[in-house]
Amino acid sequence: MRANKSLTFFLKLMYFLVFVPLFSLAAGELYFRFFHKKSFLHDFYRQLSFATEIHEPHNTLGYKPIFTNFLINEGYQYNEEGVNLDRSIIKNRKNKAVFIGDSVTRRGKIIQSIESLSKYKTWDFYNLGVEGYNIPQSISYFMLYGKNIKPKRIILQIHNNDFIYYPMLLFTSNDTALWFFHEEEPIHFNFRLIQQSYLYENYVMARYSILNKEARRKNLIQKRSIEEIKRLKEYCLQNNIELYLVVLPLIKPTKNWTEEELRSRETSLNIGKNLNITTIDLFDSLDEYHEKSLNLTEENKEDYWHPNQFAAEILAKKILERIHF
């Protein structure tokens, strides 16, 4: 009798310890697979092998371009000074200008347009833009690798999402990645498992959401950005370098900007004003062309960040009105 009771207790224990959790996991997997919208991580997976081809982990920056003597992929050949040689214009001219920023800078269309439209042809243009970087990363990247260029001018291109998006997604191998944000503890996860388990995907996204909210609560991105811009300004003053901030626009009519996007622009302008840095605001530079329903985006109408060559020339003309090359 006692043996039967022990067996019954053991079976109940196994039921609660094994079968209930397994059933819950299976039910959760089915729910997220059939009734819940998949996250953007699924779309990122197809970019994974390309990203690990051109970037590598870095303790300070989170990630950086791989420095090589050959072209890894179109638009990706970085030397030891952090210069994207495939998107720079270097002809051993008298003066040097360094552009730092994110993917808009890295792709080089505005820089190329400035060079082609410039009046004097006495400037070389060094492109230190890195795909996906925010302001602290862009400035730290220059301070780590680009100082030996000894430029006469530095142009920091600030984009609207620099004060909106927070954690950085870093691909560390073909299967693994992490969410990274400066002082916060990074979140490691397996990309291949995300493709197989919607439950795991939502677990990762929940952790990302917590990291994102914590970064916003502490206002880390704005604080760190101001600290780094101050550091860059001090460096420029010490080395007699002209510093400019270029506030890039979204590639959509200004009347369609959200409140958060407008606040982000105001944050950029206030930083330039408070730190007494010459700031070029390109806010409504493209509005008249939007009214004509012209295509101004690099890839598709959903991409509000990257100007095509036509739009880049318009923005370059506006920049040249304030910075004479």
- Please indicate, yes or no, whether residues 277 and 229 belong to a single structural domain of this protein: yes
Angle 220-238/259-274 helices, nearest 10 degrees?
30
- Find, among 321, 309, 237, 312, the residue nearest to 280 by Cα: 321
Beta strands per DSSP E along 144-295: 153-158, 168-171, 176-180, 187-190, 242-247, 278-281
In a domain, 8, yes or no: yes
In DSSP notation, 47-99 reads: THHHHHHHEEEETTTEEEEPB-SS-SBTTB-B-TT--BGGG-B----SEEEEE
For residues 105 and 13, state if they share a domain.
no
CATH number at residue 58: 3.40.50.1110
Which residue type occupies 110? I
SS3 for 154? strand
Looking at the domain assignment, is residue 192 inside a domain? no
Same domain, 101 and 7: no
> Does any domain span residue 182?
no
pLDDT at 309: 95
Q: Is residue 188 part of a domain?
A: no
Q: Are residues 150 and 288 in the same domain?
A: yes
Instruction: Give the span between the Cα atoms of 20 and 28, in whole angstroms.
Output: 12
Domains: count for the chain: 2
C-alpha closest to that of 251 among 127, 323, 160, 320: 160
Please check whether residue 202 lies inside any domain of the structure: no
Domain boundaries, position 5: 1-36
Phi, psi of 226 (to 5 degrees): -65, -45
Based on the domain organization, do 7 and 70 belong to the same domain?
no
Q: Which residues pair with 189 in a beta bridge?
A: 177
**Does residue 234 share a domain with residue 129?**
yes
Encoded tokens for 283: 């806010």
Rg, the chain, Cα only? 24
What per-residue confidence (pLDDT) applies to 35? Answer: 62
Q: What is the pLDDT along the chain (325 residues), one digit of tens a residue?
A: 555 656 566 556 555 666 556 655 566 556 656 666 666 565 555 454 456 678 887 877 877 899 987 777 777 899 999 999 999 999 999 999 999 999 999 999 999 999 999 988 999 999 999 988 889 889 999 999 999 999 999 999 998 778 765 566 665 665 666 666 656 677 777 877 777 777 787 788 888 787 777 777 777 788 889 999 999 999 999 999 999 999 999 999 999 999 989 988 999 999 999 999 999 999 999 999 999 988 898 877 678 889 999 999 999 999 999 999 9
- Say if residue 15 is in the same domain as residue 54: no
Based on the fold, state whether residues 145 and 87 are members of the same structural domain: yes
Structure tokens at 56: 């590598």
Domain assignment present for residue 213? The answer is no
Residues 139 and 274 in one domain: yes
User: Are the CB atoms for 52 and 171 separated by under 8 Å?
Assistant: yes
DSSP letter at 165? -
Whether residue 177 lies inside any domain: the answer is no
pTM of the model: 0.81
Distance CA 113, CA 238 (A): 30
For residue 178, is it within any domain? no
For the purposes of burial, counting CB atoms within 10 Å of the CB of 188, is it exposed (0-12), middle (13-18) or buried (19 or more)? Answer: middle
Q: Are residues 16 and 103 in the same domain?
A: no
- Asked whether residue 25 falls in the same domain as residue 157, the answer is no
From the CB of residue 222, how many other CB atoms can be counted at a distance below 10 Å? Answer: 17
CA 65/CA 76 separation, integer angstroms? 8
Report the pLDDT value the prediction gives residue 120, as an integer from 0 to 100.
Answer: 87
* Together in a domain, 26 and 63: no
Q: Identify the CA nearest to 75 among candidates 34, 43, 104, 39.
A: 104
